[in-house]
């Protein structure tokens, strides 16, 4: 029987000369994705509403020898999403990869969730994701190929206390990806999703912790739910996104990859 190599595999420039859009690319998972795609040769255009983190991320990428730029975008507005992709195509001639990452979370029990909360979260997480997939597909149909990766969540597959609205929005993204992938599966366009679990260096866990008087106890309790015994990192999520966007995942379409340390496996 052939011995399986445990040597770490190094990927070099899987995205050389490829044009990559990442929304919400100034912070968290989006920033990790931007740095990861750029480190493998991609020309990365990050988008978001706040200019300062976008500028900071672009500078970090360029300081490390990567190629990056940013475009201010509110993904909850269809015209902004169209403008983002139109600008990128005008400048670079095509769109090879689109990472639909931008989203928000609102923490409250359902009885305290306001209509304003519902409108804001659905506008960004659901409508914003749909606008991105729709516009990216329109461009990729013109050029005859492309790869789309949406960032959903483990919370789209299981329920969590006091985040029903967020859970609903992330579940919508999962089925959106499945349905859109079916629409374009014979058009040389792949659409997949990453479903992160508890990420230690990302905002939602920190926000949840603030609701508890003993935050250390909260963190210990959350980690105890994860079979691997630790939280994940934004970089680990980014690596899954890179795989799904790459040619190595050429027969992967309509998939929702969990990156949760085995948490949903035991629920």
Catalytic residue (choose from 70, 130, 166, 257): 166
70 counts as catalytic: no
What distance in Å separates the CA atoms of residue 43 and residue 68, rounded to the nearest whole number? 6
Closest to 24 in 3D by CA, of 53, 4, 66? 53
The 10 Å Cβ neighbour count of residue 116 is 9
> What long-range pairs does 179-186 form, CB within 8 A, spacing at least 24?
180/133, 180/137, 180/148, 181/253, 181/254, 182/254, 183/137, 184/137, 184/140, 184/141, 185/253, 185/254
Beta-sheet pairing, 19-23 with 43-48: parallel
Q: Are 192 and 177 in contact (CB under 8 A)?
A: yes
Which sequence positions are flagged as catalytic?
166
């Amino acid at each position: 029987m052939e011995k399986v190599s445990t040597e770490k595999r190094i990927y070099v420039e899987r995205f050389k000369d490829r044009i990559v859009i990442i929304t919400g690319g100034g912070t968290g998972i989006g920033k990790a994705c931007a740095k990861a795609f750029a480190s493998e040769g991609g020309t990365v255009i990050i988008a978001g509403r706040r200019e300062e983190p976008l500028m900071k991320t672009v500078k970090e990428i360029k300081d490390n020898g990567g190629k990056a730029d940013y475009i201010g975008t509110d993904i909850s507005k269809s015209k902004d999403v169209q403008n983002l992709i139109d600008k990128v195509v005008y400048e670079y001639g095509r769109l090879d990869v689109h990472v639909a990452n931008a989203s928000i979370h609102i923490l409250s029990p359902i009885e305290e969730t306001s209509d304003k909360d519902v409108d804001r979260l659905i506008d960004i997480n659901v409508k914003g994701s749909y606008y991105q997939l729709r516009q990216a597909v329109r461009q990729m149909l013109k050029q005859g190929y492309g790869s789309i990766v949406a960032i959903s969540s483990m919370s789209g597959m299981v329920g969590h206390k006091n985040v029903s609205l967020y859970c609903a929005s992330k579940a919508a993204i999962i089925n959106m990806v499945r349905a859109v992938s079916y629409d374009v599966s014979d058009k040389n366009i792949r659409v997949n999703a990453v479903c992160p679990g508890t990420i230690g260096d990302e905002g939602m866990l920190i926000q949840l912790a603030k609701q508890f008087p003993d935050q250390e106890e909260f963190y210990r309790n959350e980690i105890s739910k994860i079979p691997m015994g630790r939280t994940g990192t934004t970089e680990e999520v980014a690596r899954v996104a890179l795989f799904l966007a790459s040619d190595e995942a050429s027969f992967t379409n309509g998939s929702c990859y969990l990156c949760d340390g085995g948490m949903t496996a035991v629920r």
